[in-house]
């Protein structure tokens, strides 16, 4: 597998996290140069060092245009920049729409969730797409690929997931539109909608939450692995005709109505 995409490069937002870290590792194994884009500079640097000479750390958030441009510049420096993966995710304890005492859902929490899980990924996507426009086209006329992270919450949002479900639903909604919009410059856009994936954040959740999350997975009867997310990113890179699609990665999950606030998955 090593060396298949030698000379190319990718930017992975959230590149030292669970999903992003597995993806960054996979892309390095494929021969790509990878920019680990993370707010925590120490975490990003440590992970880049672990991955070896093909990985470079850039500290910054997906709302910081200057930092994103630095990351894009590094991606161009270390290779032919053609892949952007948005895999950053932050868990936020979301309140109910209104509780029994009449307290409504806070708008600050809603705005923060939309900013983290929708506005940020869109911002990185638009700036990477603009950078891809300058690439030489491949044999299909392709210049780049954007992969965003949705969630099964986009389809089966649970109680106390209103803001998170809204953000992830918007990721799904904009994927096909983004792909059609970017077709004229040869840039593809897809999304992955993970179900319960065993990332470090979910591993720290109470056992009751973990049991509830896997109870309705059809098969295999377990949590998904971050490596499986990375495999799907690889498949999207290798399959140029796959465009404008959101693919669920959830073991055939069926999610009944629940009353707990499950940890966001992605």
Catalytic sites, residue numbers = 164
Query: For residue 183, what are its two tokens?
Result: 């077709």
Cα–Cα dist 124/186, whole Å: 18
Distances (CA, A) of 29 to 56, 80, 140, 239: 14, 16, 25, 18
Question: At how many degrees (to 10) do helices 107-114 and 162-182 cross?
Answer: 30
Phi, psi (deg, nearest 5) at residue 176 = -65, -40
Q: Which of 152, 121, 117, 146 is nearest to 223 (CA)?
A: 152
Query: For residue 173, what are its two tokens?
Result: 């909604």
Local structure of 11: helix, strand or coil: strand
């Amino acid at each position: 597998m090593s060396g298949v995409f030698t000379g190319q490069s990718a930017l992975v937002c959230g590149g030292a996290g669970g999903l992003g870290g597995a993806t960054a590792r996979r892309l390095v194994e494929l021969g790509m140069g990878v920019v680990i884009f993370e707010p925590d500079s120490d975490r990003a640097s440590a992970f880049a060092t672990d991955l070896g000479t093909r990985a470079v750390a850039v500290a910054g958030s997906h709302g910081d245009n200057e930092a994103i441009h630095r990351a894009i510049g590094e991606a161009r420096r270390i290779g032919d920049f053609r892949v952007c993966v948005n895999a950053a995710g932050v868990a936020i304890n979301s309140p109910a729409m209104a509780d029994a005492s009449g307290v409504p859902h806070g708008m600050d929490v809603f705005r923060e969730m939309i900013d983290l899980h929708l506005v940020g990924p869109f911002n990185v996507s638009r700036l990477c797409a603009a950078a891809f426009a300058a690439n030489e086209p491949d044999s299909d006329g392709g210049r780049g690929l954007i992969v965003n992270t949705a969630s099964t919450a986009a389809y089966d949002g649970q109680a106390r997931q209103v803001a998170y479900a809204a953000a992830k639903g918007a990721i799904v909604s904009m994927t096909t539109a983004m792909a059609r919009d970017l077709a004229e410059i040869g840039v593809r856009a897809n999304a992955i909608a993970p179900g319960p994936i065993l990332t470090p954040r979910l591993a720290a959740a109470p056992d009751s939450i973990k049991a509830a999350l896997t109870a309705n997975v059809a098969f295999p009867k377990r949590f998904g692995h971050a490596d499986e997310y990375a495999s799907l990113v690889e498949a999207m890179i290798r399959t140029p005709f796959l465009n404008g699609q959101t693919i669920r990665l959830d073991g055939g999950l069926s999610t009944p109505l629940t009353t707990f606030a499950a940890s966001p998955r992605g």
